[in-house]
Structure 1
């Protein structure tokens, strides 16, 4: 007499199991080398979303950060040639050009095989999946990928940084020739360092046997980036030079003649005193001088100027 082997799960339990798998199983990650840039979206069960990138920003458009730009370009060229290169951490003042450098690198070197994958801090656990997908590309694929994480920082309870540590340096397969991590942050150490941690050590108020290891842990992540570039606030002269450069670009896009009403010298593109004063006031209202502030002022000036021209015609 045969016995029934029907072990089917109840429908409600199957529905819960299906929902769990959908929420926790990451789909297969696929990468098309012809796509210049991707962004990871959707968290743990997400995917790489192709990006339509604007390649108008060039390395020559970025002023006041020549030393940082030179080092980053050299590291990237080594990477593209298949020579040893380092993961990069760019830290410092906001708006100094850290993120713009990444976009400009893609504009300059996409024809040489540079590709960018943007990933948010909260999705760093997907790095292993992305790394596996890159390693599975055809052997004759000459593309090389920079995994770009903008505004990277962690709090004391965030454990996702451990995945990044492993990819940077620590895993058995962390050394590879087709993936580098370029990250930007306003915080040099990435993890918070609390004064109370030092006070607890000095006053004997910590329960840890080796309390200094906690402090070492907070700096170990940033130490795994082989190249660290610092960006500092710029002086007034550099800021005005950047304003002048961006306004010149705006004039080219406007395809308009420079005249006295536009307050720009037609011979050398130098700024009038009025524009200089307006640009400095603009920076003062935004709390400091930076390449980002200079770019925002140029757009303000361009829009205001074009609107004034239209108003005169009407």
Structure 2
């Protein structure tokens, strides 16, 4: 197995859209420019959704257009529908993401349609993306538990993941949305999905509600997964999952990977500066255990 692990930084999108305090476009840009100096190779910039529904993501295409291009860093936008994709296309974006869930109830609450209907929406997006040589990443929420339905079977997740892969997603991120999973359940999930899809097309996306994200990532590494989503300073949560904490902190993911001998390409001091600065702006406490130790040792 490869010694390299890809980290997809989702703080500027999945993180900030779930923080109560909306940032200005300039503040969001400052965060992303700082993250671009850390060695991270994949950064999710924002979301092409109506600002009426997600005000924190307003003007994401304008933000994207102001960022330096051709840096070797993959910058992406979330595009829930064809209109969003056309906006991403117009600002020169070369990678977009689409999202659904393994839970019918969550899909209805989150994007106001069934799982089958979400695939219909993606079909046009993926077809147009192929025509324009744009990569499409797929997200699947609630891959272990749903806040409305409870436990979700690994077989149900596998069906959704396989459908996205067959439609043309180059990578599918499995989202443990409410953070209730434990490593034994994560192992069963990967066992099912890996029967159908090679690990190189899969990513893990873990929330830390019950402090299990790092344990679940370790289990995922053991199953051969080598791509993980994380959020600087553990930004964000899930508005449809009451009490759900933010994504696993990029700082904590770095600590695990680095000390296990995996290569991430991250400049930890640059990452910690970006982490410190965004917390100052948001006036929030950094939940990352690594960050707390790092800054305590610096004091």
More strand by share: 2
> What TM-score comes out, normalization by structure 2 length?
0.33
- Give the TM-score of the pair, scaled to structure 1: 0.32
**Structure number with bigger Rg:** 1
